[in-house]
Amino acid sequence: MLYHLFQWLDEAYNLPGAGLFQFSTFRAALAVLLSLILSTVYGERVIKFLQRKQMGEQIRDLGLEGQAEKAGTPTMGGLIIIGATLIPVLLLGDLQNIYIILLIVTTVWMGIIGFLDDYKKKMQKNKDGLAGKYKVIGQVGLGIIVGATMFFHSDITIREEIKQTAGTEQVEITTLRGNDKFDVAHKSLKTTIPFVKYNEIDYSTILTSINEDWKDYAWIIFIPIVIFIITAVSNGANLTDGIDGLAAGTSAIIVLTLGIFAFISGNIIFSDYLNVMYIPGTGEMLIFIAAFVGSLIGFLWYNAYPAQVFMGDTGSLTIGGIIAVLAIATRKEWLIPILCGIFLMENLSVVLQVGYFKYTKKKFGEGRRIFLMSPLHHHYQKKGIHESKIVSRFWIVGILLAVLSIITLKIR
């Protein structure tokens, strides 16, 4: 809103200082400050409101140290993250930018699914919460919206470096830097694969390799991939939310890294210099990412050990959905196994534990376990490591994975 207001003031009246709002970096700085203030100052009021509504966490006895003390801690604190993200974005973002619209839709959509789950658990005293099939339907629905928008919307394009053929070799045209080196914006399903020299792949080639006329039906391949990514990452974030500060801290690291990718991909000079895909419009996502990181860090003020509030599914499902959409929008979804390695390990630990238990029970008549408990962070708790140390070490691993993800820009 403020972005559009100051844009009008700059164009109509040449108001001094109004032009600053045209710079995404300036608005991103304001967004992170505003989200931090909202999440820290007004977060306490949200916590007190949740306490009055008796939205306390019901703790199952899993035999973990310090577990009993967490009983009654307010949950559904994801409302703090959602509010502190959306308010700065609505004020400072370009609300006509398709990427901003997609991220707002994702936040509200996944927030509603998580809220319904928490509401059924706390207010309706249904320990199972929202039925799993309805969660999956919600995730699939969002995947269809995001995938269809990415495929069909005219504003979602890429621009590629102009090359000309000289004999059998590809020779880059020698021109000035910037716009002159890139062709016009066009629709494409190209994405980035890490550690590969010519690190781009086009999803549509899966069909066009069979029949060139099938290119217009590439959405049949692309949308299921988007659905899978959104479902996997949101569930991974949900499983990671098990001890104080773990999900919020690791997510902040991941989102900050995706912010770097969005800034580079949306800037024609940096994308040219680093030889990465130039995606017009993605630079605007920097405002959303700044607000989101600020809200996560502000939430940590209350969620760090010992937690005064838990994010609940309202927060964890929303976080996972946003991260998935950011990765897809920046064409970095193949980096998710590395960048979201913590989520992947938590997911795999559950899958392996359940699978191995069922296998050994069928084969030996007695179920056996790989881990002392899953998800993985509970395994380390069972080993007697304090949860604050587990969180710190997971954060360190998350930082290492983020650095590795960033250097894939040059390691090919």
Would you write out the chain's pLDDT as a tens digit for each of its 412 residues?
787 887 888 778 888 878 888 889 999 999 999 999 999 999 999 999 888 877 766 666 566 766 666 777 888 999 999 999 999 999 999 999 999 999 999 999 999 999 999 888 877 777 777 888 899 999 999 999 999 999 999 999 998 877 654 444 444 443 444 556 777 888 899 999 988 877 788 998 888 888 888 888 899 999 999 999 999 999 999 999 989 999 999 999 999 999 999 999 999 888 888 888 899 999 999 999 999 999 999 999 999 998 999 999 999 999 999 999 999 999 999 999 999 999 999 999 999 999 999 999 998 888 999 999 989 999 999 999 999 999 999 999 999 999 999 998 888 7
pTM above 0.85, yes or no: yes
312-329 and 78-92 are packed helices; what angle lies between their axes, rounded to 10 degrees?
Answer: 40
* Dist. CA 170–CA 111, nearest whole Å: 48
Helix/strand/coil percent split, the chain, to 5? 65, 5, 30
Do the bridges between strand 190-192 and strand 200-202 make them parallel or antiparallel, or are there none, so unpaired?
Answer: antiparallel
What count of other Cβ atoms lies within 10 Å of the Cβ of residue 240?
A: 28
Bridge partners, residue 170, by sequence = 165
